[in-house]
Every structure is written in C-alpha cells, then in structure tokens.
Structure 1
Amino acid sequence: MAAAQTEHEVPKSMLCPKFLHANSTSHTGPFSAIAELIDNAYDTDVNAKQIWIDKTKIKGMECLTFMDNGNGLNYKSMHRMLSFGYSDKKVVKGKHPIGIYGNGFKSGSMHLGQDAIVLSKSENDLCVGMLSQTYLKKIRAEEINVPIISIKKPEAKQYILLSM
C-alpha cells in the first residue's frame, strides 16, 4: 500500500500497527503505565476530581477499567487523544499540564493490554473510541486506524442500547 498523499503529492508519514507494542515498552512495569493514565485524568484541563480503577471480567477476559468525573472528550479531542504526538493540553490558571507530548495514553494503555475502548461524555457529545491491536491484526492493517463514533447528546435519545 502506498503512503497517503497530500494534494501536492508529498507522502504523509505512516504509523505501523507494530508501533503500538514497541511504544508500550517505554514503561518499565504496570505501575508506571497506570500512573500515566491517572496523570491524564488529573491534568488541569480535564478537571477530574475523582478517579476509579477496577478490575473485572467481561466475557471471560480480565479487564481494567479507569473512570473519572472530568470534562470528557468531544470527537475532535478524542481523535487527537488516540493519535500520536497531538495534545490539546493547555496551561490553566498558571498550572502546566503533564500530558503535553501526545503519547502517554497510547503507551500506558498498550502496556497494560492489547486493546483500549474509550467511552466519554462531554457537555455536548457522547463518544466511543478504540485503540486495538487485536482489531488491527484482524483486518491486517498496514497503518494504525482508530475507529471513533460520536453522537450529539440531543440525538442520543433516538438510540436504544442492546447488550450482547
């Protein structure tokens, strides 16, 4: 597959799915990866006051869940958070954020597991994003894809949740 082209035919950089695993090795153990995810929740622009971490089984698989009561993500901020090297973090009231390089969530979550599903509720949006090594292997992806579904809150009332 050829690299994606811009309108001027200059190739865009690509990111191989194997990079998800390679990048996760920047953490020396699970505690630094968990600390990374906690730091993201407590950054000044996220505004979380509490975070909950739980281990549960879903369909026979061990899962870690991280939940906070922060501001949430809209589609654009979810896409940036799941992309490499992008950060919307800003200085708030003189406090500099921790997550400024756009890599922590990806390295931390992929160190802890093969897949991350992010559910977020912001002021106006409900978003679901996925960073999944399992998915990328299954579709034989040659570059990283991050599926995201975003629904405006008023439109969300039109949907019915079905569990599998």
Structure 2
Amino acid sequence: MFQTTSYSGDKVKDYELLLKQLNSLLEGENDTVANLSNASALLNQFLEDVNWVGFYIWKNDELVLGPFQGLPACIRIPYGKGVCGTAVKEQITMRIENVHHFPGHIACDSASQSEIVVPIVKEDEIFGVLDIDSPSLNRFDEVDQTYLEKFVDALVKFI
C-alpha cells in the first residue's frame, strides 16, 4: 500500500520525496485516467493550504475537466481564457498571486485566492494543464513552481 510520509520542514526535500512517491505510485501503470487521478490525489495529500488540485485535458481546441480533488469545477475552458487557457496559449507556467487581479479569471470556486497552472506538453503537443488553487493569497512561490514543473515532467511518461 502506498503511503505519503510526513513533512520534514524542508520544502525542497519534501518535494524531492514527492517526486519519488509519484514515480513509485505510477510505475508499471499506463492508464492515463488512473495515473492522473492518483497524481491529483497525491498532490492534494502533499500540498498544504490548497482547495483544488487537478487536471484539464486539451480536447477539440479547449480544456476539458479531468481527474481532480476538490469541489465541482468548470467543465470546459476556452483557449486563451482564464489562467488555465492562458497557460495553454502562452505555454508557460502561470503563478498568480491574486486571481482577482488576473484579467478574465474564471471563478469556479469563490474561495480561491491564488493559483498555479503548469502546462503539460507531451511529444511537443499540449496535453493539458495541472491546475492548483489556494484559498490564500500568494500561496505559490518559486520553489513550488520549480517542483510542480518537475512533477509534470515526471508525470508525462505515465500519460
């Protein structure tokens, strides 16, 4: 049985352990939905002060809700709209300190105050995004961004 370990107090060390846990959890499994589901559950268990963790999958020129942890969410997000659609358009990680200051923010959960969205690119094609919301302002820093990008890089080989 897979179990997460407690926090060490060293954010980088904890993220390094998370990456090992992801690889261990998904090793040998090739079902995309199962792997995205477990990845979202793992992140939701690992991250503190978040209220939504999940994936949107790129289908027919829009993002469609995939596996997630949290309250019900927007099902479809158009290209270039909101933080997720902008991350796809720009193909860069979007780290938003205050979502209420982001032009065109799509408010699926009114409790969300900050957000990070990491594009998922597989074989030079957009696959979707990892989207994480927090009820706190300025929740995500450079360390979070670096390691969530590494998390997505590790996840790509399992989707």
- Per the normalisation by structure 2, the TM-score is 0.28
Bigger proportion of residues as helix: 2
Larger Rg over CA atoms: 1
Bigger proportion of residues as strand: 2
- Per the normalisation by structure 1, the TM-score is 0.28
